[in-house]
Structure 1
Amino acid sequence: MEYSKTTDKLTEFLDSGIYRFEDSNAVFIDPVRVLNRSYTRFRVSPSAYYCRPFDSTCPPEPSVASNSRKRKRKEKKKKKKPRALNEREQVADQRHQEVRPFLLKAHESLIRTSEVLEVMSNLRGCLGPETSSPGVKQSFVELAQVWQAPLYEITLNFHTNYKEGEDGVIAVMYSTLCLLGSLATQGCEQCVLPLFNNLVVNESSNDVEAEVLTSRYILPPKSSFYMSDMGQIHNLIPAESDFGFSVIVVDPPWENGSARQKSRYKTLPNRYFLSIPIKQLCHTDGAFVALWVTNREKLRDFVEKELFPAWGVTHVATFFWLKVKADGSLICDLDLFHHRPYECLLVGICRGKVMNSKQLLGSDHIPDNQIILSVPGDYSRKPPIGGLLQELAPRLKGGRSIELFAREMTTGWVSWGNEPLHFQESRNFVTE
């Protein structure tokens, strides 16, 4: 009986990409399997997703010398006593100590689950050897800043479905694409649309291949994107709140030295995020808001005291993304002070016009300190947790969902940001 139960769980995991541990408040996510549920003709390439070496670790602590010359200089100096933590660092350490038991228990659950570890050992599959980061040929951020930006277009090439009719005649059905809900194109194999400051929607049930300049992109079914800067985000506010969003995920480009050094993306000062119209984007019944944050105490303090109040969001739970290697071990020591092997997802509720927080949750309770384990993909790429969030409250199921500052697309979701096609380039996919 136990063997059958284990087999069923493994089968479910291989299909969904999510494994739920019974002995801890944790789940393991295989991002590639989760993402592939959004596609019909294409598949996310594991070797492209896991483009960073599996054996990479967190950077060393700032106090550790990065080269032999610095090491020699330090050896000559007398050993200093450990520096006392300042007030903010003490608060950050206290947060870490509180969640540490949950993180350890979740990791122990993973290590004990041999069937998941076996799958993890072959995450890249048979799609080729380890590769370097695929990168992006063109920068949408740079394209948007030139004077020709309004002239840039995206060409969508629809995939045709052939169905055999009763009279033996082949009926050709083409996809439908809408632009801002007013422009519909049917019965054509190709459609050319403005790239920036437009809501581009793939309403079909198939993947769509798109072209921008000389690059190809894959758009999943029932998905849409709006590529713009912060000045255009208000265009996403629905005319009627009944058409608002029930789940809102936000992954802001927080200011941090690491991002600047690596030149991966442009960051923004914290005050810019105060103007995001979360309240106006919400559905009449309210919405769940999930915000990715780093472990900097200064940032947590800003979110709790300024950002969430400005958005009208009440914090109800904190999730943690615990990063592991393909062999199941943590990417670095759990107690490294400046480089924790986890990130935080603050989950809150934005009260709607109809229901308050208790009514929105109903009889359900969101457990705090939930742990999400997964192997990291490219730099700053978050695991796909949209499905988990949509399960939080049955009353919100079926509502619209949006990701702000998105860099990829998901079936059923609206992706907004200045580079929502970042991970949609065809080189990240293989044909099924």
Structure 2
Amino acid sequence: MEDDQLSSFLKSGVYRLQSANAFFIDPVRVVNRSYTRYRVSPSAYYSRFFESTEKLETSAESRKRKRKEKKTISLNEREKVAEQRHQEVRPLLLKAHGALLGATELLKVVRNLRCEECTDEERRELSQQSCELSFVDLGSVWQAPLYEIVLNYQEGDAHIENEGSRLGEDLKQDVIPAFDNLIVNKGSGDAEAEFLNHKYIIPKESCFYMSDVRKIHNLIPADSDSGFNIIVIDPPWENSSAHQKQRYQTLPNRFFLSLPIKQLTHTAGALVALWVTNKEKLRSFVEKELFPAWGVKYVTSFYWLKVKANGSLISELDLFHHRPYECLLLGYSDGKDNTSDFSKLNAIPNNQVFMSVPGDYSRKPPIGELLLEYMSGTKHAHCIELFSRELSAGWTSWGNEPLHFQASKYFVSKNRQMKAPDSAYNSFT
């Protein structure tokens, strides 16, 4: 049974732990199914959590000392509610984690997630691309409407590209405004985009709209039959850690009240998935103000449990301010008839847990395909991600930096053979 599960995981990137209502995701395997001529480099994706053992041990010892030195403080009322939420979900998280630790064959593969080595030529190329553009800054200057992006794509059969061929004679090129404009990959496979001497990889059947929050209304379809069946939202919540590290700009909570979720919803309704932190102030805001303002009815919560490559948690489960999991709140937005028709959703497991090794800071695992399983009667679902920082095949992505993780430094060509100590990992491509 485990062999069948492992074989399926090597192809899909998803390993289901049925006994624990949980599953493990390898985001790289999942994402790479969206590409034809390129693939995400595991070395680039997982770089944050593959530090040297010595560094990890030193960091862990330092944290333990700090915790011992810190005096126990009493919790205020809001913190008590947060602790109660944690205690309710804690047994589910422990059961899921225990199931992962018991999947020994899976863990053998997980330990080699970053087994790939770059060639010297590719390493030099990556180092030259280390300087990233700030789309936020570029989109806010007066010249923003003048910036153009060049999109190179190939028309024809996608299976030819799957064999690793280069763009050929049927190469097409579009030169279009980069900001405040819906940019569509019209090709049969991956497209290569050029913007201010930087290269970006655009997955098949994807499109994006790069703007600030004031322009999001431009995505509202003229006809709700063209609206979205799945809406994933990862807001830049006010966050002291993000502010201190200057990773991305955050917005006050009140800004999110005006998001046009209802207008983006398909006639048949939409499944809404909202990423939130464990702060009780935020959870209360979502439940009492945000979902009601959007017209979204809460359905259930999922939990993303973050683990290291050896299967251990990235931090102690009961650390109050640094818990190793985040929440994904699922809700339903009514369609045109304005009635709550939950029959349009397949049965959604309550409190499901999914685990993965995290990528870069604030980068969420790809759960869009899994959400599609819960939509019934929808052959061709329209899906959108708001505040997106990367693109997905078949999805619309909106935000002020949707190309952030599409930079070519995160990808390698499928032409190159992988160098992997684990033979099972060769099934990756």
Q: TM-score, normalised by structure 1?
A: 0.86
Q: Is 1:136–1:422's contact at 8 Å kept on the other side of the alignment?
A: no
Say yes or no: does 1:96 pair with 2:91.
no
Deviations 1:266-308 (A, max 9, x none): 0000000000000000000100000000000000000000000
Distance 1:280-1:173 versus aligned 2 partners, 3 A rule: farther
Distance 1:408-1:34 versus aligned 2 partners, 3 A rule: same
2:255 alignment counterpart: 272
Match of 1:293 among 267, 272, 276: 276
Q: Is 1:19–1:28's contact at 8 Å kept on the other side of the alignment?
A: yes
2:76 alignment counterpart: 86
Say yes or no: does 1:414 pair with 2:396.
yes
Q: What CA distance in whole angstroms lies between the structure 2 residues aligned with 1:237 and 1:360?
A: 25
Higher alpha-carbon deviation: 223-232 or 154-163:
154-163
Say yes or no: does 1:220 pair with 2:215.
no
Say yes or no: does 1:283 pair with 2:278.
no
Q: Is 1:46–1:125's contact at 8 Å kept on the other side of the alignment?
A: yes
**Would you tell me which structure has more helix in proportion to its own residues?**
2
1:308 alignment counterpart: 291
Secondary structure of the structure 2 residue equivalent to 1:189: strand
2:32 alignment counterpart: 36
1:11 alignment counterpart: 7
Tell me which structure has the larger Cα radius of gyration. Answer: 1
Q: What CA distance in whole angstroms lies between the structure 2 residues aligned with 1:152 and 1:160?
A: 25
Match of 1:110 among 77, 83, 100: 100
Q: Is 2:154–2:187's contact at 8 Å kept on the other side of the alignment?
A: no
Q: What CA distance in whole angstroms lies between the structure 1 residues aligned with 2:155 and 2:378?
A: 33
What pairs up with 1:242-391 in 2 under 5 angstroms?
Answer: 242-354=225-337, 356-361=339-344, 364-391=346-373
Distance 1:65-1:269 versus aligned 2 partners, 3 A rule: farther
Distance 1:299-1:353 versus aligned 2 partners, 3 A rule: same
Secondary structure of the structure 2 residue equivalent to 1:111: helix
Deviation at 1:10, TM superposition (A): 1.1
Say yes or no: does 1:405 pair with 2:387.
yes
Q: What CA distance in whole angstroms lies between the structure 2 residues aligned with 1:53 and 1:375?
A: 8
Q: What CA distance in whole angstroms lies between the structure 2 residues aligned with 1:389 and 1:39?
A: 20
Deviation at 1:111, TM superposition (A): 0.3
Deviation at 1:161, TM superposition (A): 4.5
Q: What CA distance in whole angstroms lies between the structure 2 residues aligned with 1:403 and 1:360?
A: 23
Deviation at 1:398, TM superposition (A): 1.9
Match of 2:134 among 134, 139, 143: 139
Say yes or no: does 1:428 pair with 2:428.
no
Deviation at 1:365, TM superposition (A): 2.4
Distance 1:252-1:422 versus aligned 2 partners, 3 A rule: same
Secondary structure of the structure 1 residue equivalent to 2:377: helix
Deviation at 1:84, TM superposition (A): 1.7
1:392 alignment counterpart: 374
Secondary structure of the structure 2 residue equivalent to 1:290: strand
Match of 2:191 among 205, 208, 211: 208
Q: What CA distance in whole angstroms lies between the structure 2 residues aligned with 1:86 and 1:158?
A: 56
Distance 1:160-1:239 versus aligned 2 partners, 3 A rule: closer
Q: What CA distance in whole angstroms lies between the structure 2 residues aligned with 1:397 and 1:205?
A: 20
Secondary structure of the structure 1 residue equivalent to 2:267: coil
Letter in 1 for 2:79: E
Deviations 1:44-63 (A, max 9, x none): 00000012133659x99x99
Secondary structure of the structure 2 residue equivalent to 1:158: strand
Distance 1:135-1:334 versus aligned 2 partners, 3 A rule: farther
1:23 alignment counterpart: 19
Letter in 2 for 1:231: R
Distance 1:159-1:246 versus aligned 2 partners, 3 A rule: same
Deviation at 1:368, TM superposition (A): 1.3
Higher alpha-carbon deviation: 5-14 or 15-24:
5-14
Q: Is 1:391–1:397's contact at 8 Å kept on the other side of the alignment?
A: no
Deviation at 1:37, TM superposition (A): 0.5
Deviation at 1:387, TM superposition (A): 0.6
Q: What CA distance in whole angstroms lies between the structure 2 residues aligned with 1:136 and 1:296?
A: 33
Runs of 4+ in 1 over 4 A off after TM superposition: 62-67, 131-136, 160-163
Q: What CA distance in whole angstroms lies between the structure 1 residues aligned with 2:412 and 2:63?
A: 44
Secondary structure of the structure 2 residue equivalent to 1:368: coil
Q: What CA distance in whole angstroms lies between the structure 1 residues aligned with 2:155 and 2:135?
A: 29
2:422 alignment counterpart: none
Higher alpha-carbon deviation: 137-146 or 290-299:
137-146
Q: What CA distance in whole angstroms lies between the structure 1 residues aligned with 2:85 and 2:379?
A: 32
Indicate the RMSD between aligned Cα atoms, in angstroms: 2.7
**Structure 1: any 5+ residue segments left out of the alignment?**
164-171, 175-186
Q: What CA distance in whole angstroms lies between the structure 2 residues aligned with 1:127 and 1:395?
A: 44
Q: What CA distance in whole angstroms lies between the structure 1 residues aligned with 2:65 and 2:101?
A: 32
Distance 1:122-1:394 versus aligned 2 partners, 3 A rule: same
1:123 alignment counterpart: 113
1:229 alignment counterpart: 212
Q: TM-score, normalised by structure 2?
A: 0.86
Deviation at 1:64, TM superposition (A): 7.9
Match of 2:150 among 146, 155, 159: 155
Deviation at 1:431, TM superposition (A): 0.3
Q: What CA distance in whole angstroms lies between the structure 1 residues aligned with 2:148 and 2:371?
A: 33
Deviation at 1:317, TM superposition (A): 0.5
Q: What CA distance in whole angstroms lies between the structure 2 residues aligned with 1:162 and 1:102?
A: 46
Deviation at 1:99, TM superposition (A): 0.3
Identity of aligned residues (%): 60
